[in-house]
Structure 1
Amino acid sequence: MSQGPGRWRSAGRTQRGQARLRNEDAFLDCPQHGCWAVADGMGGHRHGNVASRWVVSSLASVSARGNLDQRIDAVRKSLQSVNQRLRSCRAGPDTSADAIMGSTVVALLLESGRAACLWAGDSRCYLWRGQRLYQLSRDHSLLQGLMNEGQVSATQARAYPGARALTRAIGARSPLHLEVLELSTRPGDVFLLCSDGLYQALSHADLVRALRLGAPQQAVERLFAEALRGAARDDLTAVVVQP
């Protein structure tokens, strides 16, 4: 478990999925800078493990100085730079989806009494507050887009061909469009950042049982214990933060 200077406690873990040759997830646990992130290399694409690590390394180098607005701007610039770097790594004339070198990202920034969640793709940020679980981020995927349009049910959207295809990711398009959500923090809040491999392996009730434990290390251990009861075919990554 990591702890910031008298303020934030956090813990993180990642594990290769049973159907994976390598772990394409990466995470950042940096309470001393009030910054945490999860990145998931785009499955089926080239060097997803490299892409996710570039994303995390870039965020780790962002300065902790400045107010929250300035830090959000610094993260935007950092990830725009990674986006251009990943796009420049395409080899040859291949423009197919599998030629993309990319990654999802979800990041959390904290300062006293304030939080910001930034994301692109389908890695998620959850908030446990007042005995309720909230999903703060909304997936950038064809599935979520169909649901947003309100013309199909969640069940119908999941059956749609290619429904899990991403509509945003680091390295996919230029310029990069990050979504940002800002909120005030409250005593007792617990944040969860995770890759799709983790939340797809767990039910809403599983997430609740883990996050209501409060202590980040215990929550992470509970999340992985529950996820590993199943097939755990995809990579699993979680970061739990207690302001």
Structure 2
Amino acid sequence: MGTGSQWRSAGRTHTGKVRARNEDAFLNCPEHGLWAVADGMGGHQGGDIASQMIVASLAALPLHLGFDDRVIRIRQCLHWLNRRLGQEMTVSPDRRDNIIGSTVVALLLEQRRAACVWAGDSRCYLWRGQRLYQLSRDHSLQQQLIDEQQMNVRQAKAHPGAHALTRAVGAGERLALEVLELEVLPGDAFLLCSDGLYQGMSSDALGRALNLAVPEKALQRLFDFALRGAARDNLTAVVIRQ
């Protein structure tokens, strides 16, 4: 847990019960007001490299800038990584499946301002006034089917390839990031997590965990719950509160 900051936070990652290795990574920097979760493209060579590169690159960004400039730098950093990972992919054109990519969700906090930047289906949640809000919108085929084909969640989930990502760092020539800015209120708590964590959990279960005042205790509750389930994927979460 970080000190010398108005924010308290805790992060954890776990391989889960099925996967042989962990391709998730997280950044927990309360003293810099910056957090992130990255989920390497499952089953691809180098997914763990991609997620670790994202976290290391975000951690190395300059701190002396104002809030708006820091948001710009986060976006520039992710665009640069997208190009770099794309170049890594073209090194071995004989390997068709050799995409090196990762989702990312990053949160920047300064005083009363928050910015969430993401690509893929790792999520940012806000716990405010005993209500859970999903701030990020999944960049996945499932979400696209719901938005564009007016399918309900059950129909979209049943679609083959529902979990396919429509955006990720390293997955295409151009990276389309989404950014959401909001005002922070006293008592707000944030959760960044990979799909492995939220997939088996209801909004109620997430909310009950985030209602705990200490980030480490909230994290323990989340992982206890997730690991009681199938935990087929890697699990990663970062909990942030004032």
TM-score range for the pair, normalised by the shorter chain length? over 0.9
Q: Are 2:17 and 1:18 equivalent residues in the alignment?
A: yes
Q: Distance in 1 between matches of 2:166 and 2:52?
A: 21
Which amino acid counterpart does residue 205 of structure 2 have in structure 1?
D
Q: Are 2:5 and 1:32 equivalent residues in the alignment?
A: no
- Which residue does 1:168 correspond to in 2? 167
* Residues 17-67 of structure 1: CA deviation (Å, up to 9, x unaligned): 221111000000001111000000000211101110001000000112222
* Residues 212-242 of structure 1: CA deviation (Å, up to 9, x unaligned): 1132111001100111111212111000001
Q: Distance in 2 between matches of 1:139 and 1:95?
A: 28
Map 1:72-221 onto structure 2 (within 5 A): 72-90=71-89, 91-94=91-94, 96=96, 98-221=97-220
- Which residue does 1:241 correspond to in 2? 240
Please report how far the alpha carbon of residue 161 of structure 1 lies from its aligned counterpart in structure 2 after TM superposition. 1.3
What secondary structure does 2:159 align onto? coil
Q: Are 2:37 and 1:41 equivalent residues in the alignment?
A: no
TM-score for the superposition, normalised by structure 1: 0.96
Which amino acid counterpart does residue 105 of structure 2 have in structure 1?
V
* Residues 146-201 of structure 1: CA deviation (Å, up to 9, x unaligned): 11125211111111111110000000112211100000000000000000000012
What secondary structure does 1:103 align onto? coil
Please report how far the alpha carbon of residue 92 of structure 1 lies from its aligned counterpart in structure 2 after TM superposition. 2.4
Aligned residues: 241
TM-score for the superposition, normalised by structure 2: 0.96
1:190/1:214 contact within 8 Å kept: no
Which amino acid counterpart does residue 169 of structure 1 have in structure 2?
A
Which amino acid counterpart does residue 38 of structure 1 have in structure 2?
V
- Which residue does 1:2 correspond to in 2? 2
Which amino acid counterpart does residue 110 of structure 1 have in structure 2?
L
Which amino acid counterpart does residue 203 of structure 1 have in structure 2?
S
Q: Distance in 2 between matches of 1:160 and 1:33?
A: 41
What secondary structure does 1:228 align onto? helix
Q: Distance in 1 between matches of 2:184 and 2:86?
A: 36
Deviates more, 1:152-161 or 1:47-56: 152-161
- Which residue does 1:225 correspond to in 2? 224
Q: 1:73 to 1:95 in 2, by over 3 A?
A: farther
RMSD: 1.2
2:5/2:30 contact within 8 Å kept: no
What secondary structure does 1:166 align onto? coil
2:5/2:31 contact within 8 Å kept: no
Q: Distance in 2 between matches of 1:207 and 1:24?
A: 23
Which amino acid counterpart does residue 92 of structure 2 have in structure 1?
G
Unaligned runs of 5+ in 1: none
Displaced runs of 4+ in structure 1, greater than 6 A?
none
Which amino acid counterpart does residue 49 of structure 1 have in structure 2?
D
Which amino acid counterpart does residue 216 of structure 1 have in structure 2?
P
Please report how far the alpha carbon of residue 95 of structure 1 lies from its aligned counterpart in structure 2 after TM superposition. 7.2
